[in-house]
Structure 1
Amino acid sequence: MDTAELIDALDREGRLMADAAEQAGPDAQVPTCPEWRVRDLLAHTGMVHRWVTRTLTEGMTEPARPQPGQEPGDADLTPWFREGHGALVKAVTEADPEGRYFTFLPTSRTPLAFWARRQAHETAIHRVDAESARGKGLSPVTPAFAADGLDELLTGFHTLERSRVRTEAPRTLRLRATDAEAVWTVRLSDDVPRVEPGDAGDAGDADCELSGSAEELYLALWNRLPITELRTTGDASLAELWRERSAI
């Protein structure tokens, strides 16, 4: 997906998140993050939005810590979130496409494209959390957006040293999106996972394959949908390994 599409997604997902949070109420429990209430969800995401806005508007090339504890009380929390989300959308829209900004994941994209992508998916996943707290079902995402988020998760977060998805002996996990003609092969060992994206026709043997729609894979691999809802072929213990160890 290009940067403009991701900015549009960021705008949409943030508005949906605010609406769902407002309907759920600040004290509602978040089923997908049981240790959180909606107030915690808004405080966290609002803090991240402000941190990225500062990164872009101040042209920061070195990491700076997010600043927690800036959120207001419950009565003003959703408007505060909306304000920060709107400022972030404005910042990514107006930032220099070739500007140099701090980033924290492996990427071949420009820093601005990195942040548009990261914040679109950050906000989408937490929108799912807010809608889970509200009930009444989840807003859908397109196969293209879900596949983009899967790619970021697999080739970004899980190629970092901190990924805990590891096995004593080499194993292969395959992830196949049935509606996006997309497949990722994850080579597991006692080292950092190696991820090989490619067309579905490039697939070879795997110890375990998880398949479903791109949206189902997106939500399951971010642990927002039970991984058991995916179709599992082969050694199901690798699916359980992902569930237990993949939290970001």
Structure 2
Amino acid sequence: MDFVGEIEKQASLLRSAALKAGPDAEVHTCPDWTVSKLVRHIAEVHTWAAQCVVTEPSSGRPEWPKAPRDWDEALAWWDTGLSTLLQRLREVPADRPAWTFQGPKVAGFWARRQAHETSIHRLDAELATGHELPSLVFDPEFAADGVDEMLTIMLPRQLVLGRTVEATGRILVHAADAGRTWEIWLAPGEQPVVTDVLDSAVDTDASLAGTADAVYRALWGRPHHAIVSGDESLLAALPRP
């Protein structure tokens, strides 16, 4: 999967949507954010990730950068940070050791992480233009990978940050058009156990099912058409970024 190409494509579409919405438009999927805040956030994330790619794991977490507050300056600053990120991801071997906050300590981690970070925030920018549900549909394979990344990287990360799970039960997550299914075991105060399963008909306490695109959006707390059944409180108990 060409994650670097996906970052470049989604960032371009995010930028276009942000310009269309305008800096003062509300981003309803990110409470209390405006499009200006969204742009500054993604600019900071891209700039920071570019530094992470070339930081040895033993060096510790790179310092978080701060984007300019002025709209035009923030856009230009983002362009520079994004360009650096793309260049480094293309030049640095994916298996070279690099600082990461979770998962494998290699540079390639950041290609995947930023592909999904950028895609979800592209969706936020599209929604900020006034469309209830943008016509965009993420590719099933890419969206299913985003589901997997959320469940195996971002969900455990929330627990590291102190956001505990206070629920007990099993959740089935099924991305039908991608042919992928995950089972999540929840127990209070414990790390969720996530496994790939072959049978989407297994008996669980709750399920989230639909196209990979719909499930991807649902797990990130964005508007979606996925189907939730069973004990909905279990899905609500999943900590999200």
Aligned residue number for residue 231 of structure 1? 227
Aligned residue number for residue 112 of structure 1? 107
Aligned residue number for residue 196 of structure 1? 195
- 1:148 paired with 2:145, answer yes
In the alignment of these two chains, the number of paired residues is 235
- Distance in 2 (alpha carbons) for counterparts of 1:204 and 1:76: 52
Q: Which letter maps to 1:236?
A: E
Alpha-carbon offset, residue 225 of structure 1? 1.7
- Distance in 2 (alpha carbons) for counterparts of 1:60 and 1:90: 20
Structure 2: gaps (5+ residues): none
- Distance in 1 (alpha carbons) for counterparts of 2:212 and 2:38: 25
Structure-to-structure mapping, 1:75-114, within 5 angstroms: 75-107=72-104, 111-114=106-109
- Distance in 1 (alpha carbons) for counterparts of 2:98 and 2:79: 24
1:95-125 CA-to-partner distances (Å, cap 9, x unmatched) read: 1333211011124xx6122110001011111
Aligned residue number for residue 16 of structure 1? 13
1:120-154 CA-to-partner distances (Å, cap 9, x unmatched) read: 01111111111111134253210011011110110
Please say if residues 175 and 211 of structure 1, whose CA atoms lie closer than 8 Å, have aligned partners that are also in contact: yes
Query: Match of 1:111, SS?
Result: coil
Please say if residues 152 and 194 of structure 2, whose CA atoms lie closer than 8 Å, have aligned partners that are also in contact: yes
Aligned-residue CA RMSD (Å): 2.0
TM-score (norm 2): 0.89
Alpha-carbon offset, residue 82 of structure 1? 2.4
Query: Match of 1:102, SS?
Result: coil
- Distance in 1 (alpha carbons) for counterparts of 2:78 and 2:21: 15
- 1:39 paired with 2:36, answer yes
Structure 1: gaps (5+ residues): none
Structure-to-structure mapping, 1:158-237, within 5 angstroms: 158-160=155-157, 161-162=159-160, 164=163, 166-168=165-167, 170-190=168-188, 191-199=190-198, 201=199, 204-225=202-223, 229-237=225-233
TM-score (norm 1): 0.87
- Which of structure 1's runs of 4+ aligned residues deviate more than 6 A? none
Q: Which letter maps to 1:131?
A: E
